[in-house]
Amino acid sequence: MTFGIVVGSRGFFPGHLAATGREHMIQAIEKAGHKCVVLDTEATEHGAVQSYEDAKKCADLFKRHADEIDGIVVTLPNFGEERPIADTLRMSKLNVPTLIQATPDEPEKMSIKWRRDSFCGKMSACNNLRQYGISYSLTDSHCVDPLSEEFQSDLQRFAATCRIVGGLQGLRIGAIGARPEAFNTVRYSEKILEAAGISVVTLDLSEILGRVSRLDDSAPVVKEKIEAIKNYISITDVPHPSIIKQAKLAAVTEEWMKEVDVTVSAIQCWTSMEENYGVVPCTMMSMMSSNLMSSACEVDVCGLISMHMLALASETPSALLDWNNNYGKNANKAVCFHCSNLPKEFFSEYKMDFQEIIAGTVGKENTYGTIDGSIKAGDMTYIRVSTDDTSGRVCGYIGEGKFTEDPLDTFGGAGVVEIPNMQQLLRYICENGFEHHVAANFSSVGDSVIDACKNYLGWEMYQHSD
**Last residue of some domain: 136, 168, 200?**
168
Q: What is the DSSP letter of 184?
A: G
Note whether 152 and 200 are same-domain residues. Answer: no
Note whether 314 and 208 are same-domain residues. Answer: yes
Q: What is residue 135's predicted lDDT score, i.e. its pLDDT?
A: 98
**Last residue of some domain: 168, 183, 211?**
168
Note whether 92 and 221 are same-domain residues. Answer: no
Q: What is residue 169's predicted lDDT score, i.e. its pLDDT?
A: 96
Residue 2 exposed, middle or buried by CB count within 10 Å (0-12, 13-18, 19+): middle
Peptide bond connecting 271 to the previous residue in cis, omega within 30 degrees of 0: yes
Note whether 206 and 335 are same-domain residues. Answer: yes
Q: What is the CATH number of the domain that holds 111?
A: 3.40.50.10940
Note whether 123 and 26 are same-domain residues. Answer: yes
Is 180:299 a contact under the CB 8 Å cutoff? yes
Note whether 180 and 49 are same-domain residues. Answer: no
How many domains in the chain? Answer: 2
**Last residue of some domain: 153, 168, 183?**
168
* pLDDT average per 10 residues of sequence, the chain (466 residues): 97 88 98 98 97 98 98 97 97 97 92 90 98 98 98 98 98 96 94 98 97 98 98 96 98 98 96 96 98 97 98 98 98 97 96 94 96 97 97 97 96 97 98 97 98 98 94
Residues in the chain: 466
Helices (H), 345-458: 356-362, 422-431, 446-451
Note whether 41 and 155 are same-domain residues. Answer: yes
Write out the residue range of the structural domain in which residue 61 sits: 2-168
Q: What is residue 385's predicted lDDT score, i.e. its pLDDT?
A: 98
CA–CA separation, 319 and 336 (whole Å):
11
Q: What is the CATH number of the domain that holds 441?
A: 3.40.275.10
Q: What is residue 314's predicted lDDT score, i.e. its pLDDT?
A: 98
Determine how many CB atoms are found less than 10 A away from the CB of residue 178.
13
Report the relative pairing of strands 378-388 and 368-375 from DSSP bridges. Answer: unpaired
DSSP codes, 306-317:
HHHHHHHHHSS-
Q: What is residue 112's predicted lDDT score, i.e. its pLDDT?
A: 79
Is the pTM value of this prediction over 0.85?
yes
Peptide bond connecting 340 to the previous residue in cis, omega within 30 degrees of 0: yes
Note whether 302 and 353 are same-domain residues. Answer: yes
Burial 410-420 (b: 16+ CB within 10 A, else e): ebbbbbbbbbe
Note whether 185 and 92 are same-domain residues. Answer: no
Q: What is residue 387's predicted lDDT score, i.e. its pLDDT?
A: 98
Amino acid at the residue 106: E
Q: What is residue 329's predicted lDDT score, i.e. its pLDDT?
A: 97
Say how many CA atoms lie within 13 Å of 286 toward its Cβ.
31
Note whether 102 and 190 are same-domain residues. Answer: no
Q: What is the DSSP letter of 49?
A: B
Note whether 163 and 188 are same-domain residues. Answer: no
Note whether 254 and 391 are same-domain residues. Answer: yes
Helix (H) or strand (E) holding 319: strand 318-326
